[in-house]
Amino acid sequence: GQSLEQPSEVTAVEGAIVQINCTYQTSGFYGLSWYQQHDGGAPTFLSYNALDGLEETGRFSSFLSRSDSYGYLLLQELQMKDSASYFCAVLTGGGNKLTFGTGTQLKVEL
Amino acid sequence: EAQVTQNPRYLITVTGKKLTVTCSQNMNHEYMSWYRQDPGLGLRQIYYSMNVEVTDKGDVPEGYKVSRKEKRNFPLILESPSPNQTSLYFCASSLSGTGAPGELFFGEGSRLTVL
């Protein structure tokens, strides 16, 4: 099966930079995704990495190292609205199966 | 507007009373999936479907059934609900399992309580 580890909680101040790490153990790895979820609402897609390296989308960047089975989500210029849960998820099973981690709750403070 | 629609959004029921949670998407997506979310456990996949008439078990399929008779609909059926199925359920869809890798579009969720 698959297992993913990410911190349960991270706290940062508005305007700062925060990194949320994700390590995984899986077979048939295709790629790593990140999702954001506000207060039990619908999770929304943030990014997907299939290859090693950094992908940047506005204030958010995502990194993957396949050899280390490790990735992270980097949030810059934090805003209060970034307070949410962030989930990493591994794509396996020939690209058919997306397995989520348990999520990291990010609290942004003034 | 592109969306995934689930109904009901909230439901309280009793043990053993069959229920169906409907899911419909208007994006012509081939891939659909059901997840349940419980505190501290993240999102766990129940069933998924690659296309019409093609369904497969996820990580926690026990106690659930699904069907995919039409491309747009993917209902989740609880034949005999039990209290351990009290959860927040999400339906999601994607262009295909690999066509839009790792990008799922989620419904707003259905909060189910089984007494």
Q: How confident is the model at residue B99 (pLDDT cuts 50, 70, 90)?
A: very low
Is residue B80 helix, strand or coil?
coil
pLDDT tens digits, A55-79: 998 999 999 999 999 999 999 999 9
A43 to B43: CB separation less than 8 angstroms, yes or no: yes
Indicate if the pLDDT at residue B100 is higher than 60: no
d(CA A106, CA A10): 5
Per CB-CB distance under 8 Å, the chain B contacts of A26 are: none
Give the pair of three-digit tokens for residue A71.
């990735």
Q: Match 């348990």 to its residue by tokens.
A: A102
Give the pair of three-digit tokens for residue A96.
């058919």
A40 to B45: CB separation less than 8 angstroms, yes or no: no
B33 to A103: CB separation less than 8 angstroms, yes or no: no
Q: What's the confidence (pLDDT) of residue A11?
A: 97
Contact residues, chain B to chain A, C-beta under 8 Å? 31, 33, 35, 37, 40-45, 48, 50, 56, 58-59, 88, 90, 97-98, 101-109
Using an 8 Å Cβ cutoff, are B29 and B95 in contact?
yes
Is residue B96 helix, strand or coil?
coil
Average predicted confidence (pLDDT) for chain B: 93
pLDDT tens digits, A71-110: 999 999 999 999 999 999 998 877 778 899 999 999 999 9
At position B66, the amino acid (one-letter code) is: V
Q: How many contacts does A have with B, using Cβ atoms within 8 A?
A: 71
d(CA A88, CA B37): 14
Chain B CB within 8 Å of residue A25 CB: no
pLDDT tens digits, B27-70: 999 999 999 999 988 899 999 999 999 999 999 999 999 999 99
Residue of A nearest to B91 (CA): A42
Of B48 and B96, the structure prediction assigns the larger pLDDT to B48
pLDDT tens digits, A1-48: 779 999 999 999 999 999 999 999 998 899 999 999 999 899 999 999
d(CA B95, CA B32): 9
B56 to A96: CB separation less than 8 angstroms, yes or no: yes
Q: How confident is the model at residue B97 (pLDDT cuts 50, 70, 90)?
A: low
Of A11, A1, A19, the closest CA to residue A107 belongs to A11
Using an 8 Å Cβ cutoff, are B76 and B91 in contact?
yes
Is residue A58 helix, strand or coil?
coil
d(CA B19, CA B39): 23
Q: What's the confidence (pLDDT) of residue A96?
A: 79
